[in-house]
Chain A
Amino acid sequence: DAGITQSPRHKVTETGTPVTLRCHQTENHRYMYWYRQDPGHGLRLIHYSYGVKDTDKGEVSDGYSVSRSKTEDFLLTLESATSSQTSVYFCAIRVGGGTEAFFGQGTRLTVV
Chain B
Amino acid sequence: EDQVTQSPEALRLQEGESSSLNCSYTVSGLRGLFWYRQDPGKGPEFLFTLYSAGEEKEKERLKATLTKKESFLHITAPKPEDSATYLCAVQGGYDNNDMRFGAGTRLTVKP
Residues of A within 8 A of B (CB): 31, 35, 40-45, 48, 50, 56, 58-59, 90, 92, 97-106
Complex Cα distance, B46 from A40, in Å, reads 20
- Whether the pair B101, A101 counts as a contact (CB closer than 8 A) is no
What number of residue pairs across chains A and B have CB atoms under 8 A from each other? 54
Binding site for A on B (CB under 8 A): 4, 31-32, 34, 36, 41-46, 49, 51, 87, 89, 91, 96-99, 101-104
B29 to chain A, nearest CB (A): 11
Q: By DSSP majority rule, is chain A's interface helix, strand, loop, or mixed?
A: strand
Q: How far is the CB of B105 from chain A (nearest CB, A)?
A: 11
Tell me if A100 and B43 are in contact (CB < 8 A).
Answer: no
A42 to B6, CA, bound (A): 10
Task: Known pairs A105-B43, A106-B43; list 17 more (Cβ under 8 Å).
Answer: A31-B97, A35-B101, A40-B103, A42-B4, A42-B102, A43-B44, A44-B101, A45-B98, A58-B98, A97-B96, A97-B97, A100-B32, A100-B46, A101-B34, A102-B46, A105-B42, A106-B42
- Contact pick for A43, options B42, B87, B97, CB 8 Å: B87
